[in-house]
């Protein structure tokens, strides 16, 4: 195994407490479990540069090193097939991959316009998310890690780091709130054309089916959103649909969706926190997705001219029949 091409990633703190073997099995679905356990036993998988047992409990923030995924896939094919020259992995993957428009790229960052319906990472029944697809499509990138996350049904700007130093710098920018995230949403109700600050504390819970649900609770974590109406459309008298600009000052799970729903402005197409009866009617009229889009992200970035970077993902065409006052 050629370790100079090994892949490194940082374990998200969300997975603290999960066993290493289960973590890898959920992310390396192209490999049989026997191969994954052999990788762990042989030391091909390392955490913070050290060998660990399969039952090791992750702490979050650890440096995970695994062999190049391309080599692993090629190895599996060699074991499963007598063909001497399997097709190149990249060509095969590219033919199956969703489209991931690149908004920006340099030697440290890769910025993608994520389509709705694609999770940012695999797991929970999802074999490949954005990060897994990009690692397969770009095998030359030794390090590629998500700088932040978006919900599966949310489209728009996602920033990935191509260097560990860049990842730490991204995390610091979000943690210290020296970044600005702007979203476009279409909601039920009339939202005034002025800034309004929402400060509803949020707490993550588990629903009856084990799904993750976020609720407004006094003992929850601080969550701050600033909303402003951009325009309204008549839908069914006296109902109106409003296009909303949302700036988030914190990045809690499902923050925008829960804040807007709590204020009486459920996002169209939101199957978890939305107006379910309205969603059914709109689906019959052609609505095919949740209308929430990560429109713009600005970062304090000392290496950039002027010390800041700004990325914008155009509002998708799917918004046009329902939106008013949308800017790009």
Collect all residues with Cβ–Cβ distance below 8 Å to 328 and sequence separation of at least 6.
312, 314, 315
Catalytic residue, chosen from 151, 195, 270, 275, is: 151
Partners of 105 in the β-ladder: 110
| DSSP 8-state code for residue 124 | T
The CA distance from 144 to 126, in Å, is 19
Nearest to 281 by CA among 263, 266, 268: 268
What are the pLDDT tens digits along the chain (328 aa)? 334 456 777 887 767 778 898 888 877 766 788 889 889 999 989 999 899 999 898 887 888 988 765 545 444 444 444 333 344 445 556 667 788 999 999 999 999 999 999 999 877 667 788 999 999 898 888 889 999 999 999 999 999 999 989 999 999 999 888 899 999 999 999 999 999 999 999 999 887 777 789 999 999 999 999 999 999 998 876 789 999 999 999 999 999 999 999 999 999 999 999 999 999 999 999 999 999 999 999 999 999 889 999 999 999 999 999 988 876 6
The tokens describing 82, both together, are 């007598």
Partners of 229 in the β-ladder: 244
Contact 323, 214 (CB under 8 A): no
The tokens describing 300, both together, are 């304090």
Radius of gyration of the chain (CA): 21
Phi, psi values for residue 289, rounded to 5°: -155, 170
The CA distance from 83 to 74, in Å, is 11
Residue written as tokens 């959103």? 225
Residue written as tokens 């409003």? 242
Long-range contacts of 41-47 (CB under 8 A, 24+ apart): 44/1, 45/20, 47/11, 47/20
Contact 223, 250 (CB under 8 A): yes
Contact 282, 302 (CB under 8 A): no
Contact 241, 268 (CB under 8 A): yes
Q: Is 63 a catalytic residue?
A: no
Q: Is 220 exposed, middle or buried (0-12, 13-18, 19+ CB in 10 A)?
A: middle
Measured from the Cβ of residue 151, the count of other Cβ atoms closer than 10 Å reads 19
């Amino acid at each position: 195994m050629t370790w100079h091409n090994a892949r490194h990633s940082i374990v998200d703190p969300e997975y603290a407490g999960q066993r290493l073997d289960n973590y890898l099995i959920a992310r390396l679905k192209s490999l049989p479990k026997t191969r994954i356990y052999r990788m762990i036993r042989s030391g091909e998988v390392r955490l913070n540069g050290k060998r660990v047992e399969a039952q090791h409990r992750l702490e979050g923030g650890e440096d995970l090193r695994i062999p190049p995924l391309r080599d692993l896939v090629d190895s599996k094919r060699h074991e499963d097939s007598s063909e001497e020259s399997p097709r190149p992995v990249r060509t095969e993957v590219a033919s199956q991959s969703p489209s991931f428009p690149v908004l920006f790229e340099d030697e440290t960052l890769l910025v993608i316009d994520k389509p709705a319906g694609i999770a940012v990472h695999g797991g929970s029944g999802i074999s490949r998310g954005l990060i897994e697809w990009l690692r397969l499509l770009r095998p030359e990138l030794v390090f590629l890690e998500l700088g932040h996350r978006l919900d599966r049904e949310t489209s728009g700007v996602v920033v990935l780091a191509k260097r560990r130093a860049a990842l730490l710098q991204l995390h610091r920018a979000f943690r210290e709130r020296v970044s600005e995230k702007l979203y476009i949403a279409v909601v039920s109700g009339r939202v005034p054309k002025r800034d309004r600050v929402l400060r509803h504390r949020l707490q993550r819970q588990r629903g009856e089916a084990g799904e993750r649900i976020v609720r407004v609770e006094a003992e929850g974590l601080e969550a701050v959103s600033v909303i402003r109406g951009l325009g309204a459309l008549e839908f069914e008298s006296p109902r109106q649909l409003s296009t909303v600009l949302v700036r988030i000052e914190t990045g809690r799970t499902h923050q925008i969706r829960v804040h807007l729903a709590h204020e009486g402005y459920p996002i169209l197409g939101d199957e978890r926190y939305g107006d379910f009866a309205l969603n059914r009617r709109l689906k019959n009229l052609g609505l095919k997705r949740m209308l929430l889009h990560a429109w713009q992200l600005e970062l304090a970035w000392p290496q950039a001219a002027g010390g800041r970077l700004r990325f914008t993902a155009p509002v998708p065409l799917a918004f046009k029949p329902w939106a008013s006052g949308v800017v790009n």
